[in-house]
Chains A and B, each alone.
Chain A
Amino acid sequence: MINPTVWLYLIYLAISILLTVWVARTLHKSGRIFLVDVFAGNEPMADSVNHLLVVGFYLINLGYVTLALKTDTPPADTQQIIENLSGKVGVVLLVLGGMHFFNLYVFSRMRKHTLQDQMPPPIQPSEYTLPPVPKT
């Protein structure tokens, strides 16, 4: 029999999973271009890392959603279902947001490293002389 608590759980799971899938797909789609740039045009590598990141993202988020399912205050009516649901979904959204920014941070760090590898010298020489001849 479906009581209010079970309704709460079902709606909570539906919303949370849909949100997780939506954020993960967005990340997958928009992160790819970024990663291709990070890996200097190496597309198979970028796709692989992109896929691994999204898998990690799903695991952490769905893990959290599952753990946070149980409610301490079983709802008696619709109003309490909505209040309870709102609190839970709110926390899931914050976790998703945090994960999303963490992902962006990781991406930008990787990009910074690549850019640094190719960075030209920050200053010009004061003058040029004959290039040194190394010892043979």
Chain B
Amino acid sequence: MKRLYIFFDGECGLCSRCREWLVREPAYLELIFHPFQSREAQRLCPALPRFQPDQQLIVLSDEGGIYSGESAWLMCLYALRDYRGWSQQLAAPALRPLAQRICMLVSHNRLTLSKALLQNVLQTPRSRHE
């Protein structure tokens, strides 16, 4: 495994922030990001809509493996040099349900969270236009 395709929500501020963070971190694997709404995402993974990319993060490995929800997040951590150990710990049976619940909670409320946490950031470009 050398490459991960990450399909995130292009309309969510929080998701873009996470993407920026992932891009900055030193990684073992090449990370390629596409909003799940984009044509490129559809081209890379025609089966994508079946995995409900609007509900959860979807990661596709260059070998064709599909990871969704907390598994997708764990794969992102696995790709990062400084967080690979974390991915192993969080994937353990004791912590995996917790990781799953947190990921579900964040995914379902991501638009509300984006509004609450990134209000200033999101408003700045708009106010510039006005």
A-B interaction:
yes
Binds A, one of B12-20, B80-88, B111-119, B121-129: B80-88
Q: In the complex the two chains form, what is the Cα distance from A125 to B45 in whole Å?
A: 15
A77 within 8 A of partner (CB): no
Whole-angstrom distance between the alpha carbons of A126 and B74 in the complex? 13
Taking CB as reference atom, which chain B residue is nearest A120? Answer: B1
Cβ 8 A contact of B91, one of A122, A129, A132: A122
Give the contacting residue for B66; candidates A116, A119, A127; CB below 8 A. Answer: A127
Q: Mark interface residues in B26-38 (1 if CB within 8 Å of A CB, else 0).
A: 0010000000000
A117 to B75, CA, bound (A): 14
**Interface presence of B47 (CB below 8 A):** yes
Contact B46 A122 (CB under 8 A): no
Binding site for A on B (CB under 8 A): 1, 3, 5, 28, 40, 44-47, 60-68, 71, 74-75, 78, 84-85, 87-88, 90-91
